[in-house]
Amino acid sequence: MNKNILKWSLMIFSSLLLIGAIMLQTGVIKFYRAFQPFEIIADMDNQIKPSPQKESSFFADSSSFRSAIENTVPKFGSKYHLTDLEYEEAEFENKNPLEPTERVLARGKNRFETFCVPCHNYDGKGNGVIITKVKLKEGEEGFPAPANLTREFTRTISDARIFHILSAGQNLMFPVNYKLSETDRWALVHYIRKLQKDSYIQK
């Protein structure tokens, strides 16, 4: 009789230990919010860091999405010397150094399909998943549809201006200079021109 109780207690105790260890490992229970949860196999999933697009309780503007700090050099992108309103200067100062070769267009397509399609969609017409598929909660305002990149206006503005928009931003369109190099931005300009040509052919 006594032996049985001992056996059962040991089994229950070890099962509880095992369940506890699993819960700790998977992060179901955390010791402290401020510290990394105890992990048997630390895979660095849990760490205190701002996630892009998440609200931040640390920065005063509550955005986790930070711009480059003054006097620093972005690792992948590059600084741009004009502000978004200096688009007239941009006409003279920005010159596309690339020819629209197959390689350049392939790079532009790759960048476009990585960074731009969620809003602009694959054909550039502005009905990407963020606009059409993201389900909104009641009363929540969605992201307004971006301009159709194949519309007449965007066809007529210069390469320099499109490069300027990519580098300095325009209204809701944020600048991408800090994450895309100058070469990538010029490749994107060529790729946007290709989308515009293709959409003429489709008509």
Residue 37 or 178 having the CB closest to ligand HEC:
178
Residue 104 or 165 having the CB closest to ligand HEC:
165
CA dist 90 and 162 (Å) reads 10
CA dist 36 and 31 (Å) reads 8
Closest CA to 22 of 41, 46, 35: 41
CB of 48 to ligand HEC, least distance (A): 26
CB of 133 to ligand HEC, least distance (A): 13
Six-digit token pair at 18?
A: 């095992």
CA dist 118 and 129 (Å) reads 5
Which residues form the interface with ligand HEC (CB under 6 A)?
112, 115-116, 118-120, 130, 144, 146-147, 149, 153-154, 162, 165-166, 170-173, 176, 188
CB of 87 to ligand HEC, least distance (A): 11
Six-digit token pair at 77?
A: 């992108």
Closest CA to 90 of 191, 196, 189: 189
Residue 149 or 168 having the CB closest to ligand HEC:
149
CB of 124 to ligand HEC, least distance (A): 8
Residue 82 or 130 having the CB closest to ligand HEC:
130
